[in-house]
Amino acid sequence: MAVHGPAMTDVARLAGVSHQTVSRVLNGHPNVREQTRLRVRAAIAELGYRPNGAARALVTGRSQVIGVVAQNTTLYGPASLLAALEQTAAEEGFAVSVGSVRDLDYRSISAAVERHLSHRVAGIVVIAPVESAGEALERLPKDVPLVTVDGDPRRPVPLVTVDQVAGARAATQHLLDAGHRTVWHVSGPSDWFDSVGRIEGWREALLAAGVDPPPLMQGDWSAASGYRCGQLLARMPEVTAIFTANDHLALGVLRALHEFGRRVPDEISVVGFDDVPEAAYFIPPLSTVRPDFDAVARASIQLLLAQIESGTGGALRQTIAPTLVARDSVAAPPRR
Amino acid sequence: MAVHGPAMTDVARLAGVSHQTVSRVLNGHPNVREQTRLRVRAAIAELGYRPNGAARALVTGRSQVIGVVAQNTTLYGPASLLAALEQTAAEEGFAVSVGSVRDLDYRSISAAVERHLSHRVAGIVVIAPVESAGEALERLPKDVPLVTVDGDPRRPVPLVTVDQVAGARAATQHLLDAGHRTVWHVSGPSDWFDSVGRIEGWREALLAAGVDPPPLMQGDWSAASGYRCGQLLARMPEVTAIFTANDHLALGVLRALHEFGRRVPDEISVVGFDDVPEAAYFIPPLSTVRPDFDAVARASIQLLLAQIESGTGGALRQTIAPTLVARDSVAAPPRR
DNA sequence: CCGGGTAGTGTTAGCGCTCACATATGGCAC
DNA sequence: GTGCCATATGTGAGCGCTAACACTACCCGG
């Protein structure tokens, strides 16, 4: 085992050139005769030569790897984002190294970042949806390209984020447009920016319609917490419209409403957020808001590459607008 | 930007020792005086020194990185597995580099493996749940530690897998035990080993009970396909028990049954597979089979580390037994 | 007082690559 | 012919680290 493969010099010898010429061919340098290039290519193929990334990283000081710091990659949102990031990075010739993290506190994040830095990653993407992550990021070394996703909008760090506020506004407006007097909201945990943004959008839409927002029901993204909130909402006859901060919360709410015999959408309308692939098969099919994870990933990688190439640490910001997906869980409120 | 941090020699100079002594301290070599060790540690802390993984990888020929090849990391199963792998690897001091892949054919897989090899990963985990991946794996270089997860049970490659057959048998038996005469099955795509194993377990349980298996309904893991199969099953009065190859299929089936007014579990019982976190909040709460992804991840990493350390490529095999989770979607069949 | 261990440390040589520079080779103006 | 450029290729150094070995000091039994 661990038989080291052929090195650049082996290829060079076989092709009858110097190792430097091989390097030039590999890196697409222009000043190489076509015939030479072909000979080198042939030698590479014959030997099954594979460039040694570690050696290259050592001399250039940068590897072709992007580090991602994320928490809770089992949730649909983060998992989709991670997959999209990996896909996009691969298209740009970068590998993705994941450093998932139990908590998003200072210690955990810096440890994960340290691990990445020690591998000399070209840049780092931090999926930092909670408050506590923010402080950590500001104390990080400034000399490494960094992009945050779903991070704190108030911090001076390059940030790509789904426009939570707009999405929530659209969801709420959709319910108001259907004729509902007001809309209740089951939120995510209060330390998530996603959650805060969705609350804000919900509030804005209500206030713009001249409605006083009803009390907030706070969940934790899980169907279990949605179920608990749903049990309360089901017992309140005045509730006719509910916007939940994600689709799993909505699932829990739907289940509770069902148990209490409250029909959706005849008596109560529900809108979720995320558009998980199963949302169309909830009972009833769930109207929801779809964030464009691919767009987020593309924007993140672009921002990162721009930093890597230019060396500038510009605090750019990019917001991706989500789209409303209307299904069967919304209808006009029942006549009194 | 890109200001190179201090190197080992800088630490050595500050501590008044040679770089080699610093190396020894870093690698926990025994023959270093306690006092020296402390001086070196202090110097490391003072300079904020971070060892250069690339340099280490270059000289040792192995980096502290494990490559994972996976497809479709958005699905619950793969995503959970990936997260668990990353977690376990981190505990052993390894980073995880993901190479996700659009298709699991020969080209895609070898390309992903190539990328990993070129970074000189210490080992590779391939999540290879489909037939086409198998051929690719056999033609891979034999000199790199490799473990497959959910791969082909017939190939001579180290393999860790959930015991699909046992899980499906348990699910089917659970339905038979409730008094059902027979059990219908909505399967996953036929080229997935997971799917094949679950079909086999279902068949076995039925045959052991002296029942001829009814025709198979084939889906593709999605709720959409579950819905389609469910529409057929709902129209067949003789159907009283359905085992679906995963929870999302079950969701689609539940929705179809609901639409046709067939009550679950009063008229028809349903059992899923995976125990996604939301399964407890389906209507009704879904009985299902829970695979232990953490155990799979632990076994995989262990197998990989064993290969890395020993250099042996032993074709070990490890099977993780899943557990049945009984909820409300199963009851006795209706009296005729 | 010497041979021979053993703990602690230093020295040297590369790992495989890229960078900066040196060196051919050919064309073309004068 | 000489001079000078552009193109094509080679040479040497060194990135930061570890492995192998060399060296020093000291202890111990004889």
Strand D: which residues 109-138 of B lie within 7 A (CB)?
none
- Name the closest residue on chain B to residue A313, using Cα atoms: B1
Q: How far is the CA of A83 from the C1' of C6 (A)?
A: 55
Q: How far is the CA of B33 from the C1' of C7 (A)?
A: 9
Whether residue B285 has pLDDT greater than 80: yes
Proportion of chain B above pLDDT 90, given as a percent = 71
Whether residue B186 has pLDDT greater than 70: yes
**A residues 255..294 contacting B (CB < 8 A):** 255, 258, 277-278, 280-283
Average pLDDT score over chain B: 91
Position A261 scores a pLDDT of: 96
- Name the closest residue on chain B to residue A72, using Cα atoms: B83
Whether residue B131 has pLDDT greater than 90: no
Position A5 scores a pLDDT of: 82
Of A55, A76, A98, the CB nearest to B86: A98
User: How confident is residue B2, by pLDDT bands cut at 50, 70 and 90?
Assistant: very low
Distance from CA of B296 to the nearest CA of A (A): 16
Position A314 scores a pLDDT of: 63
User: Using one digit for the tens of pLDDT, what is the confidence trace for B230-247?
Assistant: 999 999 999 999 999 999
Retrieve residue B306's tokens: 């064993």
Whether residue B1 has pLDDT greater than 50: no
Residue range B193-200: mean pLDDT, rounded: 95
Residue range B317-323: mean pLDDT, rounded: 94
Retrieve residue A153's tokens: 């909008």
Of B254, B255, B277, the CB nearest to A222: B277
Nearest Cα to Cα of residue B101 among B74, B80, B76, B77? B74
Position B313 scores a pLDDT of: 61
Burial B101-136 (b: 16+ CB within 10 A, else e): beebeeebbbbbbebbbbbbbbbbbbbbbbeebbeb
Q: How far is the CA of A98 from the C1' of D13 (A)?
A: 35
User: How confident is residue B304, by pLDDT bands cut at 50, 70 and 90?
Assistant: very high
SS3 content of chain B, % helix, strand, coil (to 5): 45, 15, 40
Whether residue B3 has pLDDT greater than 60: no
Residue range B28-49: mean pLDDT, rounded: 92
Inspect the interface and report whether the beta carbons of B90 and A79 lie closer than 8 Å: no
Whether residue B149 has pLDDT greater than 80: yes
Is the CB of A31 less than 7 A from some atom of nucleic acid strand D? yes
- pTM exceeding 0.75: yes
What does the alpha-carbon distance between residue A87 and residue A96 come to, in Å, rounded to a whole number?
9
Query: Are B213 and B184 a contacting pair, CB within 8 Å?
Result: no
Chain B partners of A74 at a C-beta cutoff of 8 Å? 76, 79-80, 83
Position A1 scores a pLDDT of: 37
Chain A partners of B83 at a C-beta cutoff of 8 Å? 72-74, 100
Position A265 scores a pLDDT of: 95
What does the alpha-carbon distance between residue A214 and residue A183 come to, in Å, rounded to a whole number?
7
Residues of chain A with pLDDT under 50: 1-2
Position B113 scores a pLDDT of: 87
A311 touches chain B (CB under 8 A): yes
B98 touches chain A (CB under 8 A): yes
What does the alpha-carbon distance between residue B299 and residue B123 come to, in Å, rounded to a whole number?
14
D chain positions with any atom within 7 Å of a protein CB: 7-12, 14-20
Is the CB of B18 less than 7 A from some atom of nucleic acid strand D? no
User: Using one digit for the tens of pLDDT, what is the confidence trace for B96-121?
Assistant: 999 888 887 888 888 888 888 888 89
Q: How far is the CA of B31 from the C1' of D24 (A)?
A: 15
Distance from CA of A209 to the nearest CA of B (A): 33
Q: How far is the CA of B61 from the C1' of C25 (A)?
A: 40
Proportion of chain A above pLDDT 90, given as a percent = 71
Q: How far is the CA of A9 from the C1' of D19 (A)?
A: 22
How many Cα atoms sit within 13 Å of A273 on the Cβ side? 34
Residue labelled with tokens 């899943």: B322
Of B83, B99, B311, the CB nearest to A1: B311
Residue range B290-311: mean pLDDT, rounded: 90
Query: Are B72 and B127 a contacting pair, CB within 8 Å?
Result: no
Position B314 scores a pLDDT of: 63
Size of interface A-B (CB pairs under 8 A): 171
Distance from CA of A272 to the nearest CA of B (A): 15
Pairing of β A95-101 and β B95-101: antiparallel
